[in-house]
């Protein structure tokens, strides 16, 4: 989880997908990252299951995975 979010570019991708699901092409336009950079940073996010890709290629934030991790952080901070 944390490894997938270590790069600022990865966190920016997550921020964009928090607002709406989108295609890789739309994500490239909204972040102004190169195609190569997007694919480089999507790989660990998808592997960590923080982002999913639908059969039609739409990228979606896996809110459930983020909530599970948020619950863990809350448990150690209280």
Q: What residue ranges do the domains of the chain occupy?
A: 3-66
Nearest-angstrom CA–CA distance, 74 and 78: 6
Nearest-angstrom CA–CA distance, 78 and 53: 34
Q: To the nearest whole number, what is the mean pLDDT of the chain?
A: 93
Contact 3, 43 (CB under 8 A): no
Domain 3-66 has CATH 1.10.10.10: yes
Average pLDDT over residues 51-64: 93
pTM value is 0.87
pLDDT at 78 exceeding the cut of 90: no
- Give the model's pLDDT for residue 70: 86
In this structure, the chain runs to a length of 78
Strands (E), the chain: 22-23, 51-53, 58-61
Higher pLDDT, 1 or 40: 40
pLDDT, tens digit, for every residue of 11-43?
999 999 999 999 999 999 999 999 999 999 999
């Amino acid at each position: 989880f944390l490894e997938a979010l270590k790069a600022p570019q990865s966190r920016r991708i997550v921020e964009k997908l928090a607002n709406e699901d989108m295609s890789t092409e739309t994500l490239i336009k909204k972040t102004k990252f190169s195609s190569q950079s997007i694919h480089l940073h999507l790989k660990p996010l998808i592997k960590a299951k923080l982002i999913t890709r639908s059969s039609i290629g739409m990228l979606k934030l896996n809110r459930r995975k983020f909530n599970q991790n948020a619950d863990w952080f809350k448990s150690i901070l209280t």
